[in-house]
Homo-oligomer: A and B are copies of this chain.
Amino acid sequence: MVMMLMKTTAIANSNIALVKYWGKRNSDLILPYNSSVSMTLNNLNTKTTVEFNKTLSEYEVTINRKVVKGEELARVANHLELLQKSSPHKIFAKVMSESNFPKKAGLASSASGFAALTLTGTKALGQDFTVKDLSILARRGSGSASRSILGGFVEWTKGSMSDGSDSYALQIEKEAHWPELSMIVTIISSEEKKVSSRAGMSQTVKNSPFYSAWLDTIESDVEKMKQAISEKDFIQLGKIAELNAIKMHATMQTTTPPIIYWEAGSLSIMKEVLKLREEGIECYFTMDAGPQVKILCQQKDIETIKSRVTEINLVKDIIICHPGKEARLTEDHLF
């Protein structure tokens, strides 16, 4: 096989899990214990350029204008080798990646990062995969990346096969189905988190007394969430998402030692959301493995909520998101 090598660039959006993924049944293949549901986010994205080059003697990876080494480099390199699995001769590559938001801070930078890397990497190798296979490949880099391959509203089915061939993301609805659904991302801290999602999940599965109780609730959350999305039932979507997020955090907080991603500022916003709701403004919070609080709301309430949240002095930045599109190629290369 003659491989056509070229420089390619892809953009992938981050996604917010409305029903969370937390815990792997197989950590080599990144197979989850539970299915999850997400919304791809239009305003949080990662752009990645890859060039395989036979003259290189190692992988050269730059993320957010910083050359990466060690574990972070190894993770990218491993993924690029996975993409070349069928090739007899491994080729090194130059990779440059930029996100428009803080990484490793609970904003799913690994989701958009590995989705973009998978799409651009396979393309640079001259391969043309189906969306399903891209999702499976992206999953191997980071579980939630499997969802960022698709746009709109997405389900990542946990699957049951031991080789992971039935664990991938499928679109529930396109982004045009519900464009007015909004998410206000409040940035509390852009510091990289102390406990990675990967380590946090593993510890939670291992010793949280609530882990099975958490899993017992998920299939029902997934079904109800898919229905809420199809029916554009905002209150139902918000209620399930909020409770699901609290359950995930409660499960990891009860590990030993406790994993507490919430910060003082997170709690202030969570309580403000509960207060806004008491006042009749429909909004719900969700959080991933980090301190940032994401407020789900309707287009009409964005300004009111934004101004209330801005008053909390622990909030550093605010980003408004709507349903976004799938991972895609672009000619606008980073180098």
List residues 211-230 of chain A with CB under 8 A from any CB of chain B: 212-214, 216-217
The reply to whether the CB of A33 lies closer than 8 angstroms to some CB of chain B is no
B268 touches A264 (CB 8 A): yes
Contact A243 B247, CB 8 Å, known A209-B217, A265-B264, A267-B267: no
| A213 partner residues in chain B, CB cutoff 8 A | 209-210, 212-213
Binds B, one of A138-146, A248-256, A299-307, A322-330: A248-256
Q: Mark A225-266, 1 if CB is under 8 A from B, else 0.
A: 000000000000001001100110111011011101011111
The reply to whether the CB of A270 lies closer than 8 angstroms to some CB of chain B is yes
| A267 partner residues in chain B, CB cutoff 8 A | 260, 262-264, 266-267
Query: Nearest residue in B to A247 (C-beta to C-beta)?
Result: B254
**8 Å CB contact of A243 from B256, B262, B277:** B256
B210 touches A247 (CB 8 A): yes
A interface: dominant SS: helix
Residue of A213, A251, A277 most packed against chain B (CB within 10 A): A213
Q: Mark A272-290, 1 if CB is under 8 A from B, else 0.
A: 0010010000000000000
Q: Please give the distance in Å from A236's CB to the nearest CB on chain B.
A: 12
| A314 partner residues in chain B, CB cutoff 8 A | 264
| A209 partner residues in chain B, CB cutoff 8 A | 213, 216-217, 247
| A270 partner residues in chain B, CB cutoff 8 A | 260
Bound-complex Cα distance A274 to B271 (A): 23
Bound-complex Cα distance A296 to B77 (A): 47
Q: Please give the distance in Å from A143's CB to the nearest CB on chain B.
A: 23
Bound-complex Cα distance A258 to B278 (A): 12
Bound-complex Cα distance A262 to B250 (A): 13
| A210 partner residues in chain B, CB cutoff 8 A | 210, 213-214, 247, 250
Bound-complex Cα distance A246 to B255 (A): 9
| A246 partner residues in chain B, CB cutoff 8 A | 253-254, 258
| A242 partner residues in chain B, CB cutoff 8 A | 258
Bound-complex Cα distance A242 to B216 (A): 25
Query: Nearest residue in B to A250 (C-beta to C-beta)?
Result: B250
Bound-complex Cα distance A277 to B274 (A): 32
Query: Nearest residue in B to A244 (C-beta to C-beta)?
Result: B254
19 more A-B contacts (CB under 8 A) besides A263-B271, A264-B264, A266-B267? Answer: A209-B217, A209-B247, A210-B213, A210-B214, A242-B258, A243-B254, A243-B258, A246-B253, A250-B250, A250-B251, A250-B254, A257-B277, A258-B274, A260-B267, A260-B271, A260-B274, A262-B267, A264-B265, A264-B267
5 tightest A-B contacts by CB? A250-B250, A213-B213, A264-B264, A209-B217, A264-B268
